[in-house]
Structure 1
Amino acid sequence: MTTVSLTDVAGYLPGDPVPAQFFTGHPGAENRLRDSQMFKAPPLRHHVASGETNVDMVERAVQPLIERHGHDEIRGVDVLLVHSQLPDVPFVGAGTEVARRLGLNPEWLVDVANGGCASFVHMLRLARQILTTTDARTALICNAQSAAGRLFTQSKVRRLAQAAIPGDGCGVGFLTTSAAAPVLGVETRHIGAYAGDMTMVRDDGRKYWEPGEGQLRIGFSEDGVAQVLDRGNRLVPEVVTDLCTRLGKTCTDIDVLVTNQPNRTFLRNWRDALKVPPERHPDTFDRCGNLFGAAMPITLDHAVRSGRVQDGALVMLGGFAHAGDFAGAAAVRWNGGGR
């Protein structure tokens, strides 16, 4: 069977760090839910600049890959998968524009809409499947997150506890059919029972496409927050443990655990449940906030650049999406020799 490797990752964070005071000091900021475990604000996060698009961020995130592997190598990718959270334009995904901007001509181009905060694992599995069942030999997977600077800085949304948590950024991964940094296995679950539990609302009840003055936000309630906390605490350790078992490993064999970064409570509970010490669980939450789908590749890139991921390390990626409708884990035997 063809071996597929996560050969490299890279990331991009837009602009200067934005302090929590931007939200907590906003006139009329309210404290309902602000003390919830879900909404303990990080000190810093980044926001897309006015006019900066998902495609702009992908282009900037890919530049280190071009520098390390050569323009021709990246230009020649056979598979391009792109997840945009928030899409730049209704109806049109970012993938084709990414291909045009980077000069790519992929045989496979897919804009991935599902997978949310765990979409990097979702795309890793899709890319691996394509690379092992077709003539394709290289893939580029891209996670662009731009919702923080677009939705959560609106004047009315900005005063809500939820607004201070997200940050913007883009993370990308380069996959090859080689044994450089083999993907040992991927475990994913689509959980229909929780589909639709994450909602977008306006105070006046209008749909997002209907005209008016109300501002779009995520519809959190106290009961909904409690459900998400319960599901997230359970789903990530379950999917990681199941993948370890399938690979003949235990959770103590994990050298580096890279998860999505929703809040400090999840991060602590996940590593406690998996018995992974903090030094093996890289954390970008305090510097970047919740980066949604971009969190895994950006956090892995930060960990590699800071020397926390040694060659030969068993890297476990794990996370869940939305209100729990998707969870996934991927194991990689890391080799950063291409850096």
Structure 2
Amino acid sequence: MTTSSSQTAPRYSRILGTGSYLPEQRLTNADLAAQLARDGVETSDEWIVERTGIRARHFAAPDQTSSDLALPAARAALEAAGVAAEEIDLIIVATSTPDMVFPSTACLLQQKLGIAGCAAFDVQAVCSGFVYGLTVADAMIKSGAASKALVIGAETFSRILDFKDRTTCVLFGDGAGAVVLGASETPGLLASQLHADGRHVDILCTPGTVSGGQVLGHPLLKMDGQAVFKLAVGVLEKVARAVLEKAGKTDADIDWLIPHQANIRIMQGTAKKLKLPLEKLVVTVDQHGNTSAASIPLALDAAVRSGQIKKGDTVMLEGVGGGFTWGAVLLDL
């Protein structure tokens, strides 16, 4: 029996390019407060900034869908990667605000990109969705099931907000962020870990559904802010440390932390628990608000394009959202 002297080289995945898109309409806290005041809801710039760190957000136009936002983000990522749309053999869209019940937003995006044949599907893990999608794409590339993947977070959360509830409607915005992930001989995504705990479904949810042509249940977002805050800080530290251990790295190896952009206090609390100086924390929540699955790729693209994050940097991405879901990815750019 003869044994081959050559073995198949390990296959990894690496981010080749990033992109993002924000809708044209930008609302500052003062703009939103004035809009809410017309409906008898009181809030202010000071109240919002003090509790969340948010100063502005973008809302999609009435005729803009999540796939509409995803399209320019995808094109920007493809251009940055130097990859033609026709080379993509996997599309994953993380969203909680799909264009329709079905088909998937990923299939609608595929059509708008003018390509056909590759696998395309949505991931629903709310604010952790991009981390989930990136982990799935990484596994498919490592297995040989795909070679070049578009992974996108796209949301139109303004459609599911209760504008009579000032504790939630001031938090969220719309947008899309994208990456092109490609097969590589050297590791890009170093380690990841995903979790969920369905016992906490009630603390953050939009518990409506469609049946017989009618909306059943409550079709707008509901959140227990204190419960979410308490859970988020604890699980984000634990999952980040687990991913570091999996990758054989330590806190000191992290050049940049990009958490889900929900609340500046949660983000800063996580950085401190990881013993990271706040200068290593990428922050866009002040200008974007909470864009759910889009927040991490939006922040990543902003940091890459501004020159804040450079090639070779080690970056920790982590998200937590309704479900209750959470996860983290450690990667080298």
Paired AA for residue 281 in structure 1? L
Alignment check: 8 A CA contact 2:67 2:108 kept: yes
Give the equivalent residue in structure 2 for 1:185.
191
- Out of 24, 30, 38, the position equivalent to 1:21 is 30
Structure 1 position 58, deviation (Å): 1.1
- Asked if residue 292 in structure 1 is aligned to residue 292 in structure 2, the reply is yes
Matches within 5 A, 1:127-146: 127-146=137-156
* Structure with the larger strand share: 2
Alignment check: 8 A CA contact 1:116 1:322 kept: yes
Structure 1 position 135, deviation (Å): 4.2
Supply the distance in 2 between the matched residues of 1:183 and 1:158 (Cα, whole angstroms): 42
Paired AA for residue 285 in structure 2? F
Secondary structure, counterpart of 2:59 in structure 1:
coil
Structure 1 position 192, deviation (Å): 3.0
Cα offsets for 1:64-98 (capped at 9, x unmatched): 233334463x3221111112231221233211111
- Asked if residue 101 in structure 1 is aligned to residue 112 in structure 2, the reply is yes
Q: Cα 1:133–1:166, aligned 2, differ >3 Å: closer, same or farther? A: same
User: How many corresponding residue pairs?
Assistant: 318
Structure 1 position 226, deviation (Å): 2.1
Give the equivalent residue in structure 1 for 2:269.
269
Secondary structure, counterpart of 1:269 in structure 2:
helix
Structure 1 position 39, deviation (Å): 5.2
Supply the distance in 2 between the matched residues of 1:14 and 1:178 (Cα, whole angstroms): 33
Supply the distance in 1 between the matched residues of 2:227 and 2:64 (Cα, whole angstroms): 34
- Structure 2: runs of 5+ lacking an equivalent: 1-9
Q: Cα 1:159–1:320, aligned 2, differ >3 Å: closer, same or farther? A: closer
Cα offsets for 1:10-35 (capped at 9, x unmatched): 1100113211123323231146xx96
Supply the distance in 2 between the matched residues of 1:70 and 1:5 (Cα, whole angstroms): 14
Paired AA for residue 68 in structure 2? D
Cα offsets for 1:112-137 (capped at 9, x unmatched): 12x21111110111111111223421
Supply the distance in 1 between the matched residues of 2:167 and 2:315 (Cα, whole angstroms): 33
Give the equivalent residue in structure 2 for 1:320.
320
Alignment check: 8 A CA contact 1:3 1:182 kept: yes
Matches within 5 A, 1:141-156: 141-148=151-158, 150-152=159-161
- Asked if residue 11 in structure 1 is aligned to residue 20 in structure 2, the reply is yes
Secondary structure, counterpart of 2:279 in structure 1:
helix
Supply the distance in 1 between the matched residues of 2:58 and 2:104 (Cα, whole angstroms): 23
Worse-superposed segment, 186-195 or 34-43:
34-43
Give the equivalent residue in structure 1 for 2:169.
163
Cα offsets for 1:185-231 (capped at 9, x unmatched): 11111223323442336xxxx8666758x9842223xxx32221110
Give the equivalent residue in structure 1 for 2:222.
219
Supply the distance in 2 between the matched residues of 1:158 and 1:180 (Cα, whole angstroms): 51
Paired AA for residue 155 in structure 2? Q
Alignment check: 8 A CA contact 2:17 2:181 kept: yes
Give the equivalent residue in structure 1 for 2:4.
none
Alignment check: 8 A CA contact 1:236 1:327 kept: yes
Supply the distance in 2 between the matched residues of 1:37 and 1:195 (Cα, whole angstroms): 27
Give the equivalent residue in structure 2 for 1:86.
97
Q: CA RMSD in A?
A: 2.6
Alignment check: 8 A CA contact 2:105 2:121 kept: no
Give the equivalent residue in structure 2 for 1:337.
none
Q: Percent sequence identity over matched residues?
A: 24
Paired AA for residue 5 in structure 1? R
Worse-superposed segment, 187-196 or 93-102:
187-196
Q: Cα 1:69–1:315, aligned 2, differ >3 Å: closer, same or farther? A: closer
Paired AA for residue 136 in structure 2? L
Q: Cα 1:169–1:190, aligned 2, differ >3 Å: closer, same or farther? A: same
Cα offsets for 1:37-65 (capped at 9, x unmatched): 99536211000011011111111112223
Structure 1 position 109, deviation (Å): 1.6
Secondary structure, counterpart of 2:151 in structure 1:
strand
Alignment check: 8 A CA contact 1:41 1:164 kept: no
Paired AA for residue 23 in structure 2? P
Q: Cα 1:136–1:219, aligned 2, differ >3 Å: closer, same or farther? A: closer
Give the TM-score normalised by the residue count of structure 2: 0.87
